[in-house]
Structure 1
């Protein structure tokens, strides 16, 4: 009896397991590049991703009203996670508030608008795939190998930054 030969596994040759967290100096390197490029949208998105620690599926679906009131970005926000249906609360640092407010003003966004609207599909948000491409671009821009980082790399950043900063209160914003 012969068995058919199996196809190569989908993840053959790929790195598996947990991806590396970004370090504090890497976060700042990306921020500085985005600031120099005057890329308001990506700077606001990067800053929000660092602050909120949401999964990409939740980050791309943020509405303006989720994080702001009366035209001002809140110090703290809470959203319900898609995967767990559990609320998650996060602080929004001053630097992030400033960049997000600049983005909202630039696009003329209001409460019911997605914070990261799609450029292709009216009344929709960017996709998680588009977001993943941006993360890859940011990581590549500072000379890192994007295969060892992922969209979840920024989720684990905060705990890593806390350890690096040895308890200094929230040094990433």
Structure 2
């Protein structure tokens, strides 16, 4: 497990400075169900550290969205021997927001674009993860910064 944590919180932000992130958390996890479950737990812990306690609506929503994106990375973005990366970035100014990014090694398997997801039939057994992301996140999307990875991201308003 590789983790990079910046423990600064919104209380350390310079009120005279420009809007900038004040908290970062990055970790690489195995592209397995266990890695996806650990991503959810670590995200909830990090939100608690940043001042949104366990059990609060913002913490539960963020943890749920991390679980969905991490599960998709482990299921659809998996390449044998390669991890996925979880990155959380806290933007406390204005409406506090956390940006969740999950990067996997499958740029060829991009999800549908935001706003183009089709509703599922009532008896469908899977496929609701991105519908939850679209319903609960303020914004979401996919980026490919290089030819070897893709990042699915979402933003969650914490207030």
TM > 0.5: no
The structure with higher relative contact order (CA 8 Å, sep 6+) is: 1
Give the structure with the higher percent helix: 1
Between Structure 1 and Structure 2, whose CA radius of gyration is higher? 1
> Would you tell me which structure has more strand in proportion to its own residues?
2
TM-score (norm: length of structure 2): 0.32
